[in-house]
Amino acid sequence: MASYLLIESRDPFDSNDVQFTTELATGLAQAGNTVTVLLVQNGVLPARAGAKADGLVALLNAGVTVLADDFSLVERGIAPARLRPGVTPAPIDVVLDHMAAGHKTLWH
């Protein structure tokens, strides 16, 4: 089984196509792969506790690790304490860790 990093720069309020990442990530996880989704840019907007975020809930329920880019959070005034449980802030270096480890890395 492989490891994947999916970088989600879009948000469900602006783009129905975030469903692509949700479906791909959950499908990969259900097939036994190790999957991480990193939310960046406006992709972090559904990560606020209380936000409408069905896709994010599906990811967490599927065992996908969900990270949120710390820079994008600060830029939008979202403190770590305001995040939905299960979403963890992460530095951009996490992308390099995955790439250096040879994990398949996709940007959406």
Partner 1 sequence: MSQKTLTFALMDPPYESANLTTAFRLLTAAAERGYNLNVFAYEGASALAFARQAAHPNPVHGKNLAEENHPTTREQVAALLACAEKNGGKVDWVNCGMCVDERGVNEFVPGTRRGSPADLHAFTEASDNILVIPTK
Partner 2 sequence: MAKKTLNIVESAYRAVMEEQDDTILWVLAAMHSAGADHTVVLRANAVNYAVAGQAAPALAVGEWRQTQPPRMDRDLTDLMEKRSIPVFVIAEDLSDRGIASSELIPGVRLLPRAALPALCAEYAVVSHW
92 binds partner 2 (CB under 8 A): no
Cα 35 to Cα 17, 78, 86, distances in angstroms: 19, 24, 14
Chain positions contacting partner 1, by CB under 8 A: 7, 9-10, 40-42, 69, 71-72, 91-93, 95-96, 99-100, 102-103, 105-107
Q: For the CB of residue 71, give the shortest distance to partner 1 in the complex, in Å.
A: 7
- Window 44 to 83, contacts with partner 2 (CB under 8 A): 45-46, 48-52, 71, 74-77, 82
